[in-house]
Structure 1
Amino acid sequence: MRYWQEKGTPPRLLTSAAVSAAKGTVDAGYEIAEISKYLDFINVMTYDFHGSWESVTGHHSPLCKGSNDTGDHVYLNTDFAMRYWQEKGTPVEKLNMGFATYGRTFRLSTESSQVGAPTSGPAAAGVFTKEAGFWSYYELCTFLRGASVRLIEEQKVPYATKENEWVGYDNQESFETKVHYLKCNRFGGAFVWALDLDDFNGQFFLICFYLPSPPTSHTFSNQSTLCTCNDQLHSRPHPRPTITTSSRIPDNSFCATKADGIYVKLDAPGSFYSCANGITWILHCPDNLVFRESCKCCDWP
C-alpha cells in the first residue's frame, strides 16, 4: 500500500481494506496508525460477533454492549469496535461501519428464548443459502411471518423466535439507529455485507413490508436519536480531526450547504466534487475521461 501511494503513478486508485472488529484480532494483526496513513477508507466488519458456534443465543451485530456481557464479551459490539479503531489512530472519516443483510440463527434447547438462552446448535439451513446458522434477509423475513419479534433494548437490535428457532438480525428501525449513530459520531459512512443477501429482486418485498407486521413486545420509538451507548465512557462524539489530504479544497466551501453526493466541477471536466458531511473533496476521473452530470460518472468525451 505504501509503495503504490508513494509511487504516485496515475491514475491514482482508491485503496481500502475490510478489517476485523474483534479486539483480539485487531491487537494481534494490525498496525492501525501505520496502515491508516495509506488507506483511503477502512471497512470495519461489525458483524458475526456471535453465532451458532457458541452455546447460547447472542446477536451477531449489536450496536452496544449487553448488560450481561462479561470478560472479553464486553468488546463484542459495534460501538466498541468503531471507537477502538479510532482511538488506535484511524482518522474518524476513514472508518466505515458494517451493515449486515443477514441473520445468525440458533436452535433453542430449553423454554428460555432471551439473549443468553441455552442452545443446541444452529437453526435449519435456509432454503436458498443452505448454510446452517445463517439466513439471508429474504430467508429471515419469510420466517418473521408468525414469529415473535423483540427488541434487545440495551443493544438496539431485534431478534425473532418461532417454536425452537431464534434469529438475530437488523431491520429498518435498527439500521436507522445505526445510521444516526455513525452520522452523530462523524464516521465516514457504512458498507453492506452483502448485496446478494438482500432482497435484490424484490421477490419477498410484499412478505416483509406490506403484510401485517409480526407481534412485537417492544418498540423502537426514540431509538434513532442514539449518539453514544449508555455505558460508554465517552460522553460526547469525538470532533472530526483536521483533514490534511490534498484532495480537500482549502476553504471547504463548496459542500457546506450541499447534500451528500457528487457534483460536476465546471472548471475541470476531468474532476468532480464529492460531498460528505459538509466536507468538500475533489476526485479525478481516469486519464482521458470526463465527468458527466447526467450519469454521475466518468465517461469518454
Structure 2
Amino acid sequence: MSYDLRGNWAGFADTHSPLYKRPHDQWAYEKLNVNDGLQLWVDMGCSPKKLVVGIPFYGRTYTLSRGNNNYNLGTYINKEAGGGDPGPYTNATGFLAYYEICTEVMNKDAGWTKQWDEQGKVPYTYKGTQWIGYEDPESVQIKMDWIKSKGYAGAMTWAIDMDDFHGLCGPKNPLIHILHANMKSYEVPEPTVTTTPRPEWARPPSTKSSDSTKPASTTKRPDEWEPSTTKRPGTPSRRPPSTTSSQGPAVPSTSVPSAATTTATPAANPTTASNSNEIDYPTECKGDFMPHQDCDKYYRCVHGKAMVFSCKPGLIFNTGSSVCDWPSNADRERCKEA
C-alpha cells in the first residue's frame, strides 16, 4: 500500500504517493515515499520479488487556508475543513476518484492549474482554495518502469472502479490499461541484491491466524512451546484468562466455550501420567499456554513462573487451541472421558 503517505491529517497539502524524496520533505517525511518505503522492506530482509507496489487511482484533496495564495507542495491548509470539497460521485471530503479529477483538469473553463512534482514524479492541481495530489497516466507509467527496474513482484491498485471507466477524458480505463500493458509479459527476475534475514531477537512474535488453527508466521520464538498433537480446524481463538474472575459459560450451551479460570497457584513438578498422549508437561515456562497433567487444568507463564489455572466445571483444556473446551473436543483421548 504505497499511497496515502500524505493527507489532510498531515496538516499541509502534498501529493500522497510521491516516488522519491523531495526538498521540502523533513523529519518523519524524509523517507515517507514509495522508493524509500519499498527499500526499507528489502533492507529488513524481504526479497524484492515478494513486494507488490500499490498504485492509487484516486487523489487526496485539501482546502487551503483562507487568503493563502501559495500553491506549492507543502503549503498551509485549513485542516479543520477535513480535506477538499466532495466530488459529485464519490461524495467524500478529502478524496476524489481519478475520473472526477481528470474531467476538471481537462476543462479549460473550470480554472484548474496542473503542476508536476519533479522529484516525486506525480501531478497535482489547484484552483482557489482547492488543492489535489493524484496520479495520471504519465506518473503511473513512471512507476511501472521503476517497478521493473527494481525487480519487484508487480503492481496492484486501489481501486479499479476509480479509473476513467467511461472514457470521459480519453480512452476508457487508461490507468489499468497501463498496468496491464506493463505487467502482462513482465517476468520477475531473481534478486541481484543480497538480503540479510532479521536476527531471531529482532523478529516480532508469531500471532494466530484468523482461523486460530496455526500461527500466521512460520517463525517460532525460541521459548515458544508447541504441542505435539495436530490442531483441529475451526477451534475457538485463545482468550487470555483472568486470575481473579471466570470467563466462558458455566453451563454448556451450543456455543464453543472460551478459556476460563478460577484461581492460580504456583506449579509443582508434575509426574507424567502413563496415558499422557506424549504431551510434554512443563515444569518451567515454555510459552504462554501449556498443558497440565489434569485435563481440567493448564499452565500459564506469569512473571517467568509456570502457574496452574483451572477451567470452569465441565470443561477441559484443549492443548491444540489453548482454550477450555468441551470434553468431546479434547485432543487427548483420556480427557474425552473427563
**TM-score computed with the length of structure 1 as normaliser:** 0.54
Maintained 8 Å contact 2:152/2:188:
no
Distance 1:90 1:113, change over 3 A: same
- Report what 2:10 is aligned to: 54
- Report what 1:205 is aligned to: 169
Q: Could you tell me how far apart the structure 2 residues matched to 1:129 and 1:190 are?
A: 24
Deviation, 1:185, is 0.7
Distance 1:136 1:112, change over 3 A: same
- Report what 1:41 is aligned to: none
Q: Secondary structure at the match of 2:49?
A: helix
Deviation, 1:277, is 4.0
- Report what 2:44 is aligned to: 88
Maintained 8 Å contact 1:260/1:278:
no
Is 1:182 aligned to 2:186, yes or no?
no
Is 1:112 aligned to 2:76, yes or no?
no
Quote the RMSD (CA, aligned, Å).
Answer: 2.4
- Report what 2:22 is aligned to: 66
How far does the alpha carbon of each residue in 1:81-138 deviate from its partner, in whole angstroms, 9 at most, with x for none? Answer: 1111111121111111110000000112201101011111311111111110000111
Q: Which amino acid aligns with 1:127?
A: P
- Report what 2:86 is aligned to: 125
Deviation, 1:207, is 9.5
Q: Could you tell me how far apart the structure 2 residues matched to 1:171 and 1:150 are?
A: 12
How far does the alpha carbon of each residue in 1:49-75 deviate from its partner, in whole angstroms, 9 at most, with x for none? Answer: 111122211111000011111111112
Q: Secondary structure at the match of 1:49?
A: coil
Q: Could you tell me how far apart the structure 1 residues matched to 2:121 and 2:63 are?
A: 22
Q: Secondary structure at the match of 1:181?
A: helix
Q: Secondary structure at the match of 1:105?
A: strand
Q: Which amino acid aligns with 2:71?
A: S
Distance 1:83 1:174, change over 3 A: same
Distance 1:91 1:128, change over 3 A: same
**TM-score computed with the length of structure 2 as normaliser:** 0.48
Q: Secondary structure at the match of 2:21?
A: coil
Q: Secondary structure at the match of 2:17?
A: coil
Maintained 8 Å contact 1:56/1:118:
yes
How far does the alpha carbon of each residue in 1:142-161 deviate from its partner, in whole angstroms, 9 at most, with x for none? Answer: 22123211111111111011
**Mind listing any 5+ residue stretches in structure 2 that lack a counterpart?**
174-181, 191-338
How far does the alpha carbon of each residue in 1:198-256 deviate from its partner, in whole angstroms, 9 at most, with x for none? Answer: 122x25234999xxxxxxxxxxxxxxxxxxxxxxxxxxxxxxxxxxxxxxxxxxxxxxx
Q: Which amino acid aligns with 1:114?
A: N
Is 1:276 aligned to 2:187, yes or no?
yes
Q: Could you tell me how far apart the structure 1 residues matched to 2:183 and 2:53 are?
A: 17
Q: Secondary structure at the match of 1:276?
A: coil
Distance 1:278 1:83, change over 3 A: closer
Q: Which amino acid aligns with 1:118?
A: Y
Is 1:79 aligned to 2:43, yes or no?
no
Distance 1:158 1:204, change over 3 A: same
Q: Which amino acid aligns with 1:276?
A: E
The alignment of Structure 1 onto Structure 2 pairs a total of residues equal to 174
Give percent identity, aligned residues only: 32
Q: Could you tell me how far apart the structure 2 residues matched to 1:58 and 1:208 are?
A: 28
Q: Secondary structure at the match of 1:83?
A: helix
Q: Which amino acid aligns with 1:140?
A: I
Q: Which amino acid aligns with 1:80?
A: D
Q: Secondary structure at the match of 1:93?
A: helix
Distance 1:57 1:95, change over 3 A: same
Q: Which amino acid aligns with 2:123?
A: P
Q: Could you tell me how far apart the structure 2 residues matched to 1:55 and 1:208 are?
A: 35
Structure 1 residue corresponding to 2:116, chosen from 143, 148, 151: 151
How far does the alpha carbon of each residue in 1:149-208 deviate from its partner, in whole angstroms, 9 at most, with x for none? Answer: 1111111111011222110011111111111111011111100111111122x2523499
Structure 1 residue corresponding to 2:97, chosen from 131, 136, 151: 136
Deviation, 1:278, is 6.2
Q: Which has the larger share of strand?
A: 1
User: Higher relative CO (CA 8 A, sep ≥ 6), structure 1 or 2?
Assistant: 1
Q: Secondary structure at the match of 1:205?
A: coil
Structure 1 residue corresponding to 2:131, chosen from 166, 172, 177: 166
Find the structure with the greater CA-based Rg. Answer: 2
Maintained 8 Å contact 1:157/1:174:
yes
